[in-house]
Amino acid sequence: MKLLLAGLDHTTAPVEIRERLAFSTTDIPAALMQLTTAHDDCPALLSEAVILSTCNRVEIYGVTHGATTAQSLVRFLADFHGLEEEQFAQALFFFSGESVARHLCATASGLRSLVLGEAQIQGQVRTAFEAAQSAGSIGPILHRLFQHALTSGKRVRSETALGQGAASVSQAGVELVRHRLGNLAGCRVLLVGGGEVSELAAQNLLANGAESLIIVNRTSARAQQLARQYNAMAMGFDDLPEALSLADIVISSTAAPVPIIYREHVVNAMTTKTQARAVGVSGPREQPCMLLIDLAVPRDIAGDVASVPGVHLCTVDDLQEVVRATLGHRAGAVSTAEAIATAEVAAFQAWCQTQDAVPALTRLRERAETVRNAELDRALRRLRDLSPEQRTVVEGLTRSLVNKLLHPPTRCLRDAAAHGDGQRYAAMVTELFNLETM
């Protein structure tokens, strides 16, 4: 068994690369099937696989028993996304063995996030795990690893102060608005998307003095629900151009595979604002301007929007401006969080070591059951006059004898495996009980 991880994140790749390698929710089942299915007499790349794809990272976690290498996963990413390897390979990082466990436990704990301590990553790790379960690509190794990672994240959030301050992408987005504008008083804000990011943004915008909210979502029912909850205006997705003309600030966070806001939309919105100002109905600002914050990966807002006069465009990579300002509030909790993650890695490694004993113990149990059943059948043929109750007693006796005899070597082998000596003791048990002939 070998753990393998290939990935990239905000520290190794800009959003322009991350969005090209991102896996949508509908992509992931097919990708997991490709990773774990043999093709044309070629073995599967991975025997177990999980894909974690968020706005700040794309990571493939896998278990391989064969010759799968990091380069194999690079080729998979290139083929699946229709890219050339040289377009992204230099941005990838690779881990194997215990380093995979360390990275995942730290990630689920918010220690590898753009926004240190962000709360959403634990849910994203769980979603990736559940998607792999549904796809049938989870086995015992990754199941155990992800359980320890999720436990690490839960403990960090309950036992430390790591999540204090701007501890989510949406909170950081609102903080970025405040950094750029000073305050939100009198501002009209357009939220595009109806997911968790938008809902958290709505809460923070209102708490920071935004005058009014407009919510646009592809699903009108969800837009209406959020509008009622936050006393906002709901508009249909077809009304997005009009909504843009009403907004001073736009925060977009959909799961669209391509941009939904183009330069033409923003140019028309700014023209409408200019015309409205000319007739005295534009609002308090002397000249029309618009701040757009794109929290989506792939991006919701086309890059050339930034060239429109009066428009300021930010992406998730610009959140570093806020992260640096709020880092001091949570830095003291980092060492405690790292200790929790390390403890969960150690627990996972201890479990992995005990797995060295499993094959030998399984063969030992099978050999003992084969002998027990054969001897029991021979004895019962000679004791034909036994009643059903008596036969049950005799069978129970043989089972109890086997269990009692196997208990000491089983315990000894498990203890040896837990201390890293499982393979040597497994070989001894195999030789002593002649298990190789099975």
Q: Please tell me the predicted confidence (pLDDT) of residue 200.
A: 85
CA–CA separation, 134 vs 24, rounded Å? 15
Catalytic residue among 55, 105, 314, 352: 55
Does residue 352 carry a catalytic annotation?
A: no
For residue 362, count other CB atoms closer than 10 A to its CB. 12
Q: Please tell me the predicted confidence (pLDDT) of residue 358.
A: 73
Q: Please tell me the predicted confidence (pLDDT) of residue 13.
A: 95
**Residue 7 DSSP class:** E
Low-confidence ranges of the chain (pLDDT < 70): 1, 163-167, 277-287, 325-331, 356, 422, 437-438
Q: Which one, of 429, 368, 434, lies nearest residue 399 by Cα?
A: 368
Q: Please tell me the predicted confidence (pLDDT) of residue 68.
A: 81
Beta strands 212-216 and 233-235 are: parallel
Residue type, 199: E
In sequence order, the β-bridge partners of residue 294 are: 252, 315
**Model's pTM, two decimal places?**
0.80
For residue 370, count other CB atoms closer than 10 A to its CB. 11
End-to-end alpha carbon distance in the chain: 22
* Angle at the Cα of 294 from the Cα atoms of 293 and 298, rounded to 5 degrees: 175
CA contacts within 13 A on the Cβ side of 113: 31
Q: Please tell me the predicted confidence (pLDDT) of residue 309.
A: 92
- The alpha carbon torsion through 333, 334, 340, 345 (nearest 10 deg) reads 170
CA–CA separation, 76 vs 394, rounded Å? 58
Q: Please tell me the predicted confidence (pLDDT) of residue 326.
A: 62
Strands (E) in 145-296, as ranges, are 188-192, 212-216, 233-235, 249-252, 290-294
